[in-house]
Structure 1
């Protein structure tokens, strides 16, 4: 009986479960008893409050008799009477407004005696309350009832207090009994815990430590020392299983070590090859290196790498290493033969002599019937396939799938890196062109436009015989400033960052550059609600956007007044510009048919700093431009 560990643990568990259930039931009973006692004590204590309410209500009724006060006295009288009856004999007692509670009759003799005393005192107190309710203030019966209430209230309150204390003593004694019983359960549980712990250590822990010691020896290579027998039951069977495992490990240890050494050498070679491939950025070099390494490492006669052409959905033979006559085709449809498994990026697809000639139309028959193929995938997208083949007299190694797969993964990463490198070169060149175009538009193009206007006006003055010397002087000065701006732009292209400056200083500089020599020179109004220092990478973009907006207001909008407001809104910085010019329709092309190139550059500049540009304008209604960008990361 109880010879197995399962039965013994079941016995211990049943004992603990029984103690837990009994302790839980005891706690529920204790909680319920405390709740009932608290309710009873609360009701008993409320009797004192009701007596005080009756006395106080009688005094109020004597001074200011009202029907509401009379009803309140009657309700207190009824509540005291009903509660006293429930406390003494059990039953329903009024509790909260509109609700009642069930009260159990007392069983303690002292409590019963205290309640009987309250009933006796109440019997002499109640008639005077009823007489007071029946009489009117000022009548002799009302006055006598008031006097009796004052004389009898103290005795009734003392009796009520004694009853409350009796209820409290009974509740305290009940709680103490239940707590002592609970302590007995705790002691019993501790005894069971100590006994169970001793048995567990003797029957389970100590044998398991012996087994742990033997497993530790086996784990550290000691396959000679036998595992001792440790009795019957589950521990004995576990010891026997460990001994059988030791014998099996000893028999296979030598072969396993040889396989591990061979596989480790191959994986190290694959890792070196992968590092070499990833360091290359030319696609042709990557393709040639992959097929050569695959053939030399895995011992195949032919290695081939095909790349997927997305438009034609076909695999094109990109590189071959081995016999020159092995490759007999240039491409194969993506849904034919070998590619049926490769296109879904399956781990590996192998072909045997039983396959048809259509399995791989790219290789000659001896190789097409005995080769292994793995997909070249990047993030689940097929890029091509890497194949290793041998003649019918040879065989592709069955364990070569893992190595070939790792080579294919390395090839995929290398090819993807090469493509990304080319894309990055193209994107970088495009961004640089856009940047140069923006700088030319904001600087040189605007200056040339201004010079063109001044030269036209000078020609008109010369044609009319007027003196155009002052205007030509301004043209010369403007050309000198244009040369300086061009040199500054060249320096900026080499080093675009400027020292951090307050936003107001940047905006004033942009306004000065845009209004120099125009009708708006000195008439732009700027309101600095909030000012802050802007990082260099943001400062240049904000300055150019403001300069372009003011230039457009002067040259195109023919504005007489421009207002610029700087402030912060939440976690965004805002530059708001408003002019009284002729306005325009942002959704329509200009009359010359060209797009709003300046507005496009302004939008692009706002995007570069993580912001956005909103433009509101209409013909004859001026223009309002709001630049918003996040302050986080842009403020210094």
Structure 2
């Protein structure tokens, strides 16, 4: 538009030789240079005072040039139109209308006042006033339309940003939730948590603290990008963590330099802090810091707030599992002691009694050759029992050996040392995390040991099915069974320990037994994810009592031992 009005003005100046004065040439040159300059470097209106001054200055320059070169008869009057247009596009209809009125009054007053025929001059001024007002209205209306379009675009972009943030958060929550069943190792959980946080927000240093109820201190279980003590007292916490505790939520500190004590790192300029809450209890604290003041935005604060809940649950699961492993170690020692007592202790006591009897018979001059031969066979039997016990204690799942493989080998050993017929059905399309699979194996091993020692059964059926997310172990025997609800019998059979092992990995435990009807032990693991759960018929087809055909990738083993 500037170039077009400049071209029209130059044509009018060259055509009007009668009024081609030095003043006209001067103002023509000034406006041409200004038009070229603004074409190369247009005014970028930013709703600031400096931008407003530039717009008003352009209008003032145009008015001054037109008034100095003839008013409404000036060949440069067309160059007022870009200035009016810029005013309308910059500030809208109201501003362009006021600028147009002032421009019309300034140009028309001087023109009419100096005209020899005021009536004709007034008509000419009115015609130009109409043109200028029309340009102002069009520019203002264009600004209104573009403003609506800009607002719509900003709203759309804002929605897209929020959708993108929500998608990022949902992806991270999905990843975290997927790891919940496997997140039983504290180190793995903490590493995963920080990795997910790196994908959500930008930070230079981080720390995860867990609360120690014994002395009300905070244990620093993971940190990166800073050096801090391994334990912090309540008064040692930086201001950001204290704010998070006071609010029982998330707290942002935009300027740690201005806060007394600063952050966890003396190089941090801003921080984002949150409590870790699981099952209604504060179990820990999270600190994210950056060297730049005001680095963390409200958007990042919302992302972290949405991420905290599942992360805290994963940390709490790992913490409880670590405690259960400690309890499990005590139970394992008890189980070993019971195995040694049941299998070896009684046999050794028997050998001791037999030796005493043979010594007494030998002192009386009786022949002991045949009893010694029998005793030798008994000692060999004890040695076999020791070997079997050690084998059972060493038998475990590993990265190389799945539960199905271990189960088959264990069943063969049981069949070799007893008259028990063991029927194994193992279907594995994928494996569980090693910690979960190990606990499922311990439940299975304890159940089989009970069948071997106490059930007086002739046959037992063991079913193992696993697809990497869901798992089932089902042990059914045809033994004597027992009356349920008797605590003494439950303790002696180790069923409470089996139930606790199942619960430690999120599995359900069920036992059905009755005198003379055998016993059935069933341990089922279902995924704790936000993924769409299969229908009950699908679950039954995958893991249940019915025998189903496995997928191509499924390893299916059925063996009678």
Query: Does TM, normalized by the shorter one, top 0.5?
Result: no
For the pair shown, the structure with the greater C-alpha radius of gyration is 1
Which structure carries more relative contact order (alpha carbon 8 Å, separation 6+)? 2
Q: TM-score, normalised by structure 1?
A: 0.37
